[in-house]
Amino acid sequence: MKVDRRVVSGLAGVQRPGLARPGDRARRTAESTGVQPPDQLSLSDRTMQVSELQPALEAMPAVRAELVERLKGQIARGEYRVDPHRLAGRLLQAGVIEE
């Protein structure tokens, strides 16, 4: 396999010689003055959305008891039927199986 400099320089964490990384200046300044830069935490928008939805998810029941009871009754009476075409479509849509 041939490694091309143009490909390598585009990879995350790979530094081209002579170019400074964003945190290098702060690190050098902190090292020269003996002061540690403050720790930082940044959360992505997606993380913020998940944290906002967490209480609503916790309030939802883990099992939809009404639906489960209805399906159990249908199965017990022999009334529950699976449409194979609909099932296959859902499996394809979910990426469980491929065409």
Domain boundaries, the chain: 63-99
Query: Considering Cα of 70, then 75, then 77, then 83, what sign does the dihedral take?
Result: positive
Token code pair at residue 95: 């990426």
> Over the stretch 51-61, which tens digit does the pLDDT of each residue have?
888 898 888 88
pLDDT of 82 reads 94
Query: Backbone dihedral region of 39: left (phi > 0), alpha (psi from -120 to 50 degrees) or beta?
Result: beta
Q: What's the CA gap between 71 and 1, in Å, rounded?
A: 56
User: From the CA atom positions of the chain, what is the Rg in Å?
Assistant: 28
Pick from 21, 4, 3: which is nearest to 12 by CA?
A: 21
pLDDT of 27 reads 58
pLDDT of 1 reads 52
pLDDT of 43 reads 74
Q: Is the pTM of this model over 0.85?
A: no
With a cut of 70, list the residues of the chain below it in pLDDT.
1-34
